[in-house]
Amino acid sequence: MSEYAFEMKDIVKDFGEVHAVKDGCFSLGKGEIHSLIGENGTGKSTMMKLLYGIYDLTSGEILIGGENPGKLTPKKSISLGIGMVHQEFMLVDELTVLENIILGFEPRNGLLIDFPQARKEVRRFIDQYGLDVQLDKRVNQISVGEAQRVEIIKVLMRGADTIILDEPTAVLTPQETEGLFRILRNIKADGKSIVFISHKLNEVMTISDRISVMRQGRHIGTVEKERTTKEDLATMMIGREVLMNIRTAETSPGEPVLRIEELWTSGEKEMSKIRGVSFEIRSGEILGVAGVDGNGQSELVEAITGLRPVERGSVFLEGRDISRLSPGKKRKAGLAHIPENRNTRGLNRSFSIMENLISSQLDERFSRHHIVDTAAADAYSADLAEAYDIRPRDPRMSTSSLSGGNAQKVVVAREVSVGSKVLIASQPTRGVDIGAIESIRNTLEDVKRRGAAILLVSADLEEILSLSDRIIVMHEGRITGELDKKSANETDLGILMMGGKRTYE
Amino acid sequence: MNNPLGKNFALLEAGRRLFYILLLSLAVGALFILLIKENPLRSYVALFRGAFRGKLNFGNTLANFTPLMLTALAFAVGAKGGAFNVGVEGEVFLGGLVAAYIGIHWTFLPKILHLAACFLGAMAAAALWALIPGLLKAYYRVSEVCSTILLNYVAYNITSYFVTGPMSAGVANAQSLPVADQVRLHQFLRPSSANVGIVVAALVTLATIWLLRKTTFGFKIRAIGTNPLHAEYVGINPKTMLVKAMVLSGVLGGIAGAVEILGVHGYYLDNFAAGVGFNGMLVSLIVKNNLILVPVMAFILGALKSGALGLQQATDVPKSIVDTITAIFIIVGTMEGLFQVSRKKRNKKSEA
């Protein structure tokens, strides 16, 4: 028998043109807790989904218990003792916890489900690992932490001795996280092995035996916990190379244009509520917002742009309180917005390029007695297609078939060409090709040179570092620190992103 | 959308698809006719004659076609704005009632004004009626499907009350007094009930197509109907636009009611519009709310309906076979819709 629960070597996984994993490598020792860390979109989850048989390998080798299992499917992986707790729980809200746990392999008593027997079996796991759950509550009545424990019981009941937890703490409060760690230690003490995916360095340093770092689809290194520090891990995660050719503009920022005061909003999740955020951006300045996804950045952008109600606090544009204006009125007041999701917000995919380019200025600029001024719209969109290199060049084409980069260029062209005083750019280069990244970043620099105030939210730290004049870091809906261009470095950012304090100063 | 070549191409595709659906439905219908041991070919000839041969038959086809085109348009306009408006029938009832009331009582007006008042009154009443589910959906997230289905019953009962009570002509049937002669729409192809309402319907259809394609109002309705999140983000208020789409849908339903009362009946007849709104919805669904194909499909369905009588008279095939063909029409039509949705999803996935 192998000393490893499983090994993955030279893993490559392509999704069409996208290389999700370029050079993956991971091995899990028996009875070990091995963390897999990295920024969003670096291929961590993809690696584990390959192991679990959700995706097929493009190339590479997977050994389970020292043997090649052949083509993997979730069913096969489960039979080989691998269990996965997904980021999104897969529970039936209307059923009870007990019913959810036994769903799919109910113990039977003739035609009936043998609930007493099921209850007895589940109790065994609850007692052995301290997996405290209320078996008779319906799933929609229990907390997220408890739902996660239900998922873990499900995995254990199906006989897993290798358990993969995909960002399990992303949805937990610190107290719940501690509880989860106690459970994980109990499971480990029982001789089972655990893969822990995360990007929170504190947690990783608490729970792991070994830590593997991935960056941009590559395995960067594997270290023993005892021989590393948070700072080292942060540097490994973020890397140092800057590959872009950006014409950064040295401008001297002018008057404050956008001011946020004590802003509070609701959040998609508990940790993404905005809790009293304040900052200002001056003309000719890019303020970067760094942070792990889901710490309130999206909510902040939505609140500023009018897409999410402001609960408390204010947004001022050149001294005018615009906090409670509609998105349309905010646009008229001088706010432009590149949204994080171009498919749902940024574009109407069933409209043409031209229709998408004019939609924000329909009444102001492209309406003649309430009739769409097609001639003006055509000329305008032909100009923009040329200026922003949108391909295909025919603005009458539908946007449904545009590539990610060209689709994003349409969004950027529409937002930037209005000449607004404030530009909110959220993940402006997410999921676009290198060429488009460079052109979009140069556009942002041009907008800054023109004297606009820019709020740049990005999960890509390299982007934040290369474009921003100042950087604020968000963690759980609050600003945990502010750095300026000169003193900002990856390590400090990494620590602030994890909610920590700066170690020196 | 505005690319002339692209537009015609898409229309050609949709037209071809409609033709295939028609053939397939007739083929399946033929199987059913064989099952009851009749000759499908002979039956279809009878159906065709029943729809087109002679003044009466052809006139009835036109008379069926007119309200269907309007109610289908009413549904399609709602659908363009993202609302599934099952309430067109209620709009037709109320529009018809108000047209009848004004037609009977406002005789002090000169002919043209009187006629205009009938139509405007019908449009206003039906628009207000459609405003209710529109507001409920936009501001309280009440499913418009539920509210419009229920409101249909309310509308029917309101009109039924008036025509058996305050507006009753006091004859055996539940009907009102006749409207003034000056507001009757001219009938032709007698003894069928075809009338110049068909011209009204055609003009209204053209105007609606123009409105949705060329105006900023139409742009906004299409924007909220295809992606309300994007519309909100660029500054189009999806809530008010949804309400406006519903109101426009109501206006069209009201016109249908007025045309039926002033053109076909000449008085308000209880339950006169039973099925008209519902069939219009089916027409629109079959052609996937394509405004240009709505009249084509409405004509086909209108012909099938009037042909059914001829079919029953000339053969032993019950006219319910036509309902079967219509049903198959809808099933195939919506099946194609399913294919389209899954293709869209696939595109999205591969793009991500």
d(CA B154, CA B80): 25
Q: How far is it between the farthest Cα atoms of chain B?
A: 68
Residue B251 and residue B123 in contact, taking contact as beta carbons nearer than 8 Å:
yes
Burial A41-72 (b: 16+ CB within 10 A, else e): bbbbbbbbbbbbbbbebeebebbbbeeebeeb
Q: Which residues in chain A are closer than 8 Å to B227, comparing Cβ atoms? A: 344, 347-350
Q: Is B243 on the interface with A (CB under 8 A)?
A: no
Burial A125-158 (b: 16+ CB within 10 A, else e): beeebebebebeeebeebeebbbbbbbbbbbbbe
Q: Which residues in chain A are closer than 8 Å to B235, comparing Cβ atoms? A: 326-329, 331-332, 360
pLDDT per position in chain A (505 positions), as tens?
A: 578 999 999 999 988 767 889 999 999 999 999 999 887 667 888 899 999 998 999 999 999 988 898 889 988 999 999 999 987 788 888 899 999 998 888 888 888 888 998 999 899 889 989 888 999 988 877 877 888 999 999 999 888 999 999 888 866 666 678 889 999 999 999 999 999 998 777 789 999 999 999 988 899 999 999 998 888 887 887 765 444 456 666 778 889 999 999 999 998 777 788 999 999 999 999 999 998 777 899 999 999 999 999 999 999 999 999 999 999 999 999 999 999 988 889 999 999 999 999 999 999 999 999 999 999 999 999 999 999 999 888 899 889 878 778 899 999 999 999 999 999 999 998 867 667 888 899 999 999 999 999 999 987 777 888 899 999 999 889 999 999 888 887 778 877 877 765 443 3
Predicted-complex ipTM score: 0.86
Cross-chain residue pair B235–A367, CB shorter than 8 Å: no
Q: Which residues in chain A are closer than 8 Å to B214, comparing Cβ atoms? A: 371-372
Instruction: Indicate the pTM of the whole model.
Output: 0.75
d(CA B77, CA A65): 62
d(CA B138, CA A32): 54
Q: Which of B286, B283, B329 is nearest to B74 (CA)?
A: B283
Is the alpha carbon torsion for B208, B211, B214, B218 positive or negative? negative
| Residue B132 distance to chain A (closest CA, Å) | 24
Phi first, then psi: what are they for A280, rounded to 5°?
A: -135, 155
Burial B84-122 (b: 16+ CB within 10 A, else e): ebbbbbbbbbbbbbbbbbbbbebeebeeeebbebbbbbb
Cross-chain residue pair A345–B229, CB shorter than 8 Å: yes
For chain B positions 192-231, those within 8 Å of chain A (CB to CB) are 214-217, 219-220, 222-223, 226-227, 229-231
Enumerate chain A positions whose Cβ falls within 8 A of a Cβ in B.
Answer: 16, 305, 307, 326-329, 331-332, 337, 339, 343-352, 354-355, 359-360, 362-363, 366-367, 370-372, 374, 396-398, 400-401, 403-404, 407, 431
Cross-chain residue pair B352–A343, CB shorter than 8 Å: yes
d(CA B184, CA B197): 10
Cross-chain residue pair A401–B347, CB shorter than 8 Å: yes
Residue A93 and residue A138 in contact, taking contact as beta carbons nearer than 8 Å:
yes
| Residue B222 distance to chain A (closest CA, Å) | 9
Nearest to A396 among B6, B217, B234 (CB): B6
CB atoms within 10 A of CB A354: 27
Nearest CA in chain A to B7: A396
Cross-chain residue pair A372–B229, CB shorter than 8 Å: no
Residue A398 and residue A347 in contact, taking contact as beta carbons nearer than 8 Å:
no
Q: Is B271 on the interface with A (CB under 8 A)?
A: no
State the pairing for strand pair A4-15/A422-426.
unpaired
Q: Which residues in chain A are closer than 8 Å to B212, comparing Cβ atoms? A: none
- Alpha-carbon dihedral of residues B68, B71, B72, B77, nearest 10 degrees? 160
Q: Which residues in chain B are closer than 8 Å to A345, comparing Cβ atoms? A: 229-230, 233
d(CA B29, CA B44): 10
